């Protein structure tokens, strides 16, 4: 009778060991199995049976991970201090490397992203940071992907979320934008003046080629300004209009005999 408790305890211990040796891996999980400390295989998903004491397993998640890069102080190439934060998406494509080659894949990727972000953005001017984010995202992603490949990690996307400036820089940028708008307005006005002067020169050349058209233009202008009855207009009369009349007067004066 005294042997039953001992046997029961042994059976319970064996069951506990057997249950602890059974692992269930989900579809997105993989198990990196070691035999006496040496890499043996990558297993999963499904049921995995491990030999107690002899085998150990490290679980690896294959889903896409999101890493928030905290705000980084960056000095742009044109010496403008900014704070930049970003978001990185990555996933493990080689569980063996992700366990053996790096201690903490997530932390290592985050630290590498911070240094890469400062390094890449520091080579660009502020205008490029604000207007060419897609290009900068691609540059940062390429550098990260190249370094994390040895860890079995694929960086799928990098997004610069926000570029923060000091208040004084916002005012300076506003003044610069206003000056740029004024410059463009002056250029547009100058181009309009140039085009108008060219058209006036062409019109003058056309009128000089046709003297009668000048007379018509005088008459048209007189009609336009004569609409206001309270205005007194002194309008020069072209001599070309009087030339036929003066010719007739001279002719008639020449035909008249002198008085006795």
pLDDT over 90 (residue 15): no
Q: How much is the pLDDT for 174?
A: 66
Per-residue pLDDT, averaged over 70-97, amounts to 90
- Pick the closest to residue 91 from 144, 127, 38 (CA basis): 144
Q: How much is the pLDDT for 228?
A: 59
Query: Could you tell me what percent of the chain has a pLDDT over 70?
Result: 74
Give pLDDT tens digits for 229-238: 656 666 565 5
DSSP string across the chain = -THHHHHHHHHHHHHHHHHHHEEEE-TTEEEEEEETTEEEEEE-SEEEE--TTTEEEEEEE-SPEEEEEEEEEEE-TTS-EEEEEEEEEEEES-HHHHHHT-S-HHHHHHHHHHHHHHHHHTTS-HHHHHH-HHHHHHHHHHHHHHHHGGGTEEEEEEEEEEEEE-HHHHHHHHHHHHHHHHHHHHHHHHHHHHHHHHHHHHHHHHHHH-HHHHHHHHHHHHHHHTT-TT-----PPPHHHHHHHHHHHHHHHHHSPPP-
Q: Please, are residues 66 and 89 in contact by the beta-carbon 8 Å criterion?
A: yes
What CATH number does the domain located at 65-165 have?
A: 3.30.479.30
Cis peptide before 258 (omega within 30 of 0): no
Q: How much is the pLDDT for 158?
A: 93
pLDDT over 50 (residue 85): yes
Q: Which two tokens stand for residue 246?
A: 């003066």
Q: What is the pTM of this model?
A: 0.61
pLDDT over 50 (residue 105): yes
More confident residue, 254 or 224: 224
Mean pLDDT of the chain: 81
Give pLDDT tens digits for 129-166: 888 889 999 999 999 999 999 999 999 999 998 888 77
| Position 260 confidence tier, pLDDT thresholds 50, 70, 90 | very low
Give pLDDT tens digits for 19-58: 788 889 999 999 999 999 999 999 989 999 898 888 999 9
What count of residues does the chain have? 260
């Amino acid at each position: 009778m005294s042997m039953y408790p001992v046997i029961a305890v042994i059976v319970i211990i064996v069951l506990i060991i057997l249950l602890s040796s059974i692992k269930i891996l989900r579809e997105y999980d993989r198990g990196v199995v070691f035999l006496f400390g040496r890499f043996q295989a990558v297993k999963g998903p499904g049921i995995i049976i491990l030999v107690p004491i002899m085998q150990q397993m490290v679980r690896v998640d294959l889903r896409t991970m999101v890493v928030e890069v905290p705000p980084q102080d960056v000095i742009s190439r044109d010496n403008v201090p900014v704070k930049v934060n970003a978001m990185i998406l990555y996933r493990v494509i080689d569980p063996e490397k992700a366990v053996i080659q790096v201690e903490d894949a997530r932390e290592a990727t985050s630290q590498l992203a911070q240094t890469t972000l400062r390094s890449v953005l520091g080579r660009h001017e502020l205008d490029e940071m604000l207007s060419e984010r897609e290009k900068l995202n691609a540059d940062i992603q390429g550098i990260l992907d190249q370094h994390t490949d040895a860890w079995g990690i694929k960086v799928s996307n990098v997004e610069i979320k926000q570029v923060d400036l000091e208040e004084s820089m916002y005012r300076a940028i506003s003044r610069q934008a206003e000056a740029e708008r004024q410059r463009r307005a002056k250029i547009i006005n100058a181009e309009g003046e140039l085009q108008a002067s060219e058209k006036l020169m062409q019109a003058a050349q056309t009128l000089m080629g046709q003297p009668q058209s000048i007379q018509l233009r005088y008459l048209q202008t007189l009609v336009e300004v004569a609409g206001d009855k309270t205005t007194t207009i002194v309008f020069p009369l072209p001599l070309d209009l009087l030339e036929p009349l003066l010719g007739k007067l001279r002719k008639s004066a020449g035909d008249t005999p002198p008085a006795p």
